[in-house]
Structure formats: C-alpha cells, structure tokens
C-alpha cells in the first residue's frame, strides 16, 4: 500500500505547528465551518481542523444519534457515514463518562485492554493499520449534554505521543464543535419549519379558490423538473420547488364571489383577479430569506408573458425572472389539465397544442422545448399526484 499517497505521508515525520501556523489553521477552519449549513460537511471540516492542530494521522468527529443509540461519523465527501453502537470502543466510553481518553500505545496499554481488543486492535488486524497513540475528547451542547466526541489517532511528530498541550487544543476544537453543530442543527430546524409554513400558506391560497389539494404539489414538482431541465443547479431548483407553491398566495385577498364564480369573469372581475400577483408579492417581498425572496418573485411574475402582454407589469423576454417563466409553464400546464369552477379539464393533445402555439408568445421558447423534452417525467408527476374526487380542502 506504499504507493498510496495517504499511507506514504503517514510514514513521514512532521513537526508541531508554530503558534502562527496554529492560528492560521484555526482561522481558516472556523471561517469555513461558520459558512457551512450541511452537518456532514461540518463534521469533515472539524475533523480536518483537529487533525492539523494536533498533528495526528487521523481524526474523526463522532456524533450521537439518539434515535438509534449509535455513534456516527463522516469520513469524506460523498462517502456514506460510518455507524457504531453507542456503547462501543473508547469513543463510546468517553461519551458515556464525559471524560477524555488518552493512550500512548494501544498495543502495550493495559488500562483499556478489553475495549481495545474488541475495537481498534481488531480493526487494525483487518486493515493492516497500526494504531499507536489515541486521544478521545467528548464535547457538549449549550445545555451541557455530551453530544459527541473527537477522536485523534497517531501522533505524527518524532515523539509519537500526544501531549497535555494537544489535549488542550483538542478540547478547544471540541468546545467550538459542540456549539457549531448545535447552531447548524438549529438552522436546519428553522429551515424545515419555514418550508412547512410556506407549503401550508400555498395550500391556503389554493383552498380559497377551491382548487384541488394537489395543485400546489404538482406545480412544485413540475417547476423542479423544468428548472433542472433548463440547466439550473440542484440547489436553486430545490429552492424554486419549495417556493413555487406560493405562486397564488395573493388569492387569499380575492372575494369568493369572484374566485368561485362558475362562469367567465367580467372585465372588472378579471382586473380584481389580476391583483393576486401584486398582493402576493407585497406579502412576501420584505423578507431577507432566500426562500421567501424566491417565492416573492414567483408570486409577482408567474402571469407575465414572454411577448410582453402579461400582468401585472407587462414585462417581456428575459426581463421576466427565470423563476417567473418556469412557474408560468408549470401553472398553466396544471391549470389546463385540471377542472376548475369555470372550466373543464383539457385533453393532453389540446394542452400540447396550446404550448406549441404559445411558444415565444406566452412562454419562453426554450422552456417550451424543455417542457416537451421532459413531458414523460411531468406526466409521471401528474399521475402520482392526481386529484381524487372529494380531495378538496
């Protein structure tokens, strides 16, 4: 295995960091961690920070999963996490006792013999790795509960053992990690809540107009497929998917007599109806959150038309935000295929004809092409979330 860079590096002797280098490492990693929203990436960054600080060969950050009574860690980007039972190994012990574990040589250590034989030494036999020095430092959340542990293996300097100073450094990193992980978890919780609120608001908007319950769901899924198909990144497409259920939120302010009128609207009623775009926009525009800003654009612009004849602002072409152009296709595709108080559902052929006719008129021509390309997936969605009789909010 000597030709693998990592193993090769493992053989070379390194030096302790100078104070300047130590500060450099801390600033670099704390900066990256502060900007990271994904808990797996936080674990990787923290492990790398700890490894550099104490000049270890390997470092892992373990977290407790309370639902499954396991410890888990992430070793690399895109690699599935590793899980072990909560009470196993020296990590399990450090987490259970809340005290650090410190070993100079796993092969001669007597204090933790049993645990080492069941854990690290067995793993070494399988992998050919030689665990010598080990240090495990538990860390806590803001309430003082142990939520995980740092594990550093093999000191890469000439001394080959971790020092009291290393322990202090790893405690520092652990203290910071506990707080960061809690912040990331809290952030995730906030985002989950935000998504739920947005989806529910979208449903409320639809229920006022007696549109069937799955309309918002379908428009969200169609928008996602069209966004990806037009080359948008996964992250942005996901955001559009979450925001698009809000496109008609402004309908909450339209009187029932107009919204639920069985027949054609008068000019005056239609003018009132059109205001659902600006009403929705005004409800959402003051938020600084990306998700709600996206929703504001969608609410505002989903009835603009490529040739400039839409409302509320008569924007044309790329003056219309791509989010507005995408949800326009998704919304009309769904509206035509669904029964409304004022119309019957259309056959697919008739819908496709309309999209061909309106290519470059109502709709962005490129998006109509994406729409045609993605039709099989769109129809799958339509089928999966089809309206069931009586499924009306």
Binding mask 316-335 for Fe ion (x = CB under 5 A): ---------------x----
Specify the stretch interacting with ligand C2E by CB under 6 A; choose among 37-45, 124-132, 260-268, 315-323: 260-268
Q: Quick one: 138 or 280, whose CB is closer to Fe ion?
A: 280
Q: Which is nearer to ligand SIN, 209 or 327 (CB)?
A: 327
Residue 11 structure tokens: 């053989």
Count of residues interacting with Fe ion (CB under 5 A): 2
Q: Which residues bind ligand SIN (CB under 6 A)?
A: 281, 287-289, 292, 297, 300-301, 321
Residue 273 binds to ligand C2E (criterion: CB under 6 A): yes
Tell which positions 171-210 bind Fe ion, by CB under 5 A: none
Is residue 220 close enough to count as binding ligand C2E by CB under 6 A?
no
Query: Does the active-site annotation cover 125?
Result: no
The residue annotated as part of the active site, out of 155, 217, 241, 251, is 251
Q: Determine the size of the site formed for ligand C2E (CB under 6 A).
A: 14
Residue 289 or residue 340: which is nearer to ligand SIN going by CB?
289
Contact between 387 and Fe ion (CB under 5 A)? no
Which residue's C-beta sits nearest to ligand SIN? 300
Q: Is 84 in the site for ligand C2E (CB under 6 A)?
A: no
Choices 35-43, 47-55, 97-105, 261-269 (CB under 6 A): range interacting with ligand C2E:
261-269
- Report if residue 348 touches ligand C2E, rule: CB under 6 A: no
Nearer Cβ to Fe ion, position 155 or 303? 303
CA pair distance 2, 277, nearest whole angstrom: 65
Q: Is 304 in the site for Fe ion (CB under 5 A)?
A: no
Residues lying near ligand C2E in the complex (CB under 6 A): 209, 261, 264-265, 273, 303, 331-332, 335-336, 340-343
Residues lying near Fe ion in the complex (CB under 5 A): 248, 331
Catalytic site positions: 251
């Amino acid at each position: 295995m000597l030709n693998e860079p990592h193993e090769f590096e493992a053989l070379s002797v390194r030096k302790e960091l100078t104070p300047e280098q130590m500060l450099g490492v801390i600033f670099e990693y704390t900066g990256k961690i502060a900007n990271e929203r994904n808990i797996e990436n936080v674990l990787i960054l923290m492990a790398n920070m700890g490894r550099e600080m104490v000049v270890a060969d390997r470092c892992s950050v373990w977290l407790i999963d309370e639902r499954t009574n396991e410890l888990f860690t992430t070793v690399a980007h895109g690699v599935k996490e590793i899980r072990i039972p909560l009470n196993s190994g020296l990590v399990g012990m450090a987490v259970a006792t809340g005290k650090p574990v410190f070993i100079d040589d796993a092969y001669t250590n007597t204090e933790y013999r049993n645990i080492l034989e069941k854990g690290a030494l067995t793993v070494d036999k399988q992998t050919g790795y030689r665990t010598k020095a080990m240090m495990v430092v538990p860390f806590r959340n803001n309430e003082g509960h142990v939520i995980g542990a740092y594990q550093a293996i093999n000191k890469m300097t000439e001394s080959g053992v971790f020092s009291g100073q290393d322990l202090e450094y790893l405690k520092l990193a652990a203290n910071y990690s506990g707080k960061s992980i809690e912040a990331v978890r809290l952030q995730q919780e906030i985002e989950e809540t935000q998504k739920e609120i947005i989806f529910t608001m979208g449903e409320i908007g639809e229920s006022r107009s007696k549109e069937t319950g799955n309309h918002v769901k379908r428009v969200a899924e169609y928008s996602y497929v069209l966004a990806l198909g037009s080359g948008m990144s996964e992250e942005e497409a996901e955001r559009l998917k979450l925001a698009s259920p809000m496109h008609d939120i402004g309908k909450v302010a339209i009187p029932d007599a107009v919204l639920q009128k069985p027949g054609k609207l008068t000019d005056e009623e239609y003018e009132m109806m059109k205001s659902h775009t600006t009403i929705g926009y005004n409800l959402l525009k003051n938020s600084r959150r990306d998700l709600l800003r996206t929703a504001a654009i969608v609410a505002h612009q989903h009835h603009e038309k490529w040739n400039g004849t839409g409302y509320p602002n008569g924007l044309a072409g790329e003056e219309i935000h791509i989010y507005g152009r995408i949800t326009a296709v998704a919304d009309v595709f769904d509206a035509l295929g669904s029964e409304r108080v004022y119309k019957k559902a259309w056959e697919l052929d008739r819908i496709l004809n309309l999209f061909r006719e309106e290519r470059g008129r109502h709709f962005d021509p490129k998006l109509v092409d994406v729409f045609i390309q993605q039709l099989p997936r769109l129809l799958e969605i339509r089928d999966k979330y089809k309206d069931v009789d009586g499924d009306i909010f």
